[in-house]
C-alpha cells in the first residue's frame, strides 16, 4: 500500500517537474515570437490576440501548464503539501538540463551547486512518508 502511494506520488511529481518548466519555456518562446505586445489603442487588441495565440507554441505551453496544475492537484489529494511543494523544486534542475541540451546554454557553477543542494534536500523529503494528515470526512 505504501509502495503504491510512493509510486503514484513520484509519477505525479515527475509530471510536474517536466510539464511546468517545459510549459514556461514554450510560453516564453511564444511571447518572444509575438514581439512587443501592445494593448493601446483598443484596436490593437485583436492584433495582439492573433500574434500571441496564432503560434502553436503558446497552445503547447498552455497544455503543459494545464498538465502541471492537474498533476499538482492530484498530488495534493494523495500526499502532503509540505511533501509535494518542495519536491517540485526539482524543476529547476530540469530547466537547467533542458537549457544545456536543447538551447546550448551555459549554466554557471553556482546554479549547478544550487541544483545539487535542491536534490540533496529532496532526498531527505523522499525518506519521509508522503502523507501524514487525514482527509476530513
Partner 1 sequence: MSEFILFTFIIVLGTGGELCLGRAMKETGEMERFRPAAALRLLGRALRVKWIWIGVAMMAMAFFSLLALLSFESVSFVIPVTALSYLVGALGGIFFLGERLSWQRWVGIGLVCIGVTLVLIAK
Q: Interface with partner 1 by CB under 8 A: which residues?
A: 8, 70, 72-74, 76-78, 80-83, 85-86, 89, 92, 96, 108, 110-111, 113-128, 132-136
Shorter beta-carbon distance to partner 1: residue 52 or 76: 76
Counting Cβ atoms within 10 Å, is residue 134 exposed (0-12), middle (13-18) or buried (19+)?
A: exposed
CB of 62 to partner 1, least distance (A): 16
**Cis amide bond preceding 8, omega within 30:** no
CB of residue 44 to partner 1, shortest distance in Å: 20
d(CA 55, CA 27): 10
> Would you say 46 or 120 has its CB closer to partner 1?
120
Cβ distance 18 to 42 under 8 Å? no
Nearer to partner 1, 50 or 113 (CB): 113
Q: How remote is the C-alpha of 128 from its chain's centroid?
A: 23
Q: How far apart are CB 36 and partner 1 at their closest, in Å?
A: 16
Rounded to the nearest whole angstrom, what is the least distance from the CB of residue 59 to partner 1 in the complex?
A: 20
Question: Do 114 and 122 meet the contact criterion of CB atoms below 8 Å apart?
Answer: no
Amino acid at each position: 500500500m505504501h509502495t503504491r502511494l510512493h509510486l503514484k506520488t513520484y509519477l505525479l511529481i515527475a509530471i510536474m517537474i517536466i510539464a511546468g518548466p517545459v510549459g514556461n519555456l514554450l510560453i516564453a518562446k511564444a511571447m518572444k515570437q509575438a514581439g512587443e505586445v501592445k494593448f493601446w489603442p483598443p484596436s490593437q487588441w485583436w492584433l495582439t490576440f492573433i500574434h500571441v495565440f496564432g503560434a502553436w507554441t503558446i497552445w503547447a505551453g498552455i497544455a503543459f501548464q494545464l498538465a502541471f496544475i492537474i498533476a499538482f492537484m492530484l498530488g495534493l489529494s494523495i500526499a502532503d503539501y509540505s511533501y509535494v511543494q518542495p519536491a517540485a523544486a526539482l524543476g529547476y534542475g530540469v530547466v537547467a538540463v533542458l537549457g544545456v541540451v536543447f538551447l546550448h546554454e551555459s549554466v554557471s557553477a553556482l546554479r549547478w551547486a544550487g541544483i545539487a543542494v535542491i536534490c540533496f534536500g529532496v532526498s531527505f523529503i523522499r525518506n519521509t512518508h508522503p502523507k501524514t494528515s487525514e482527509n476530513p470526512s
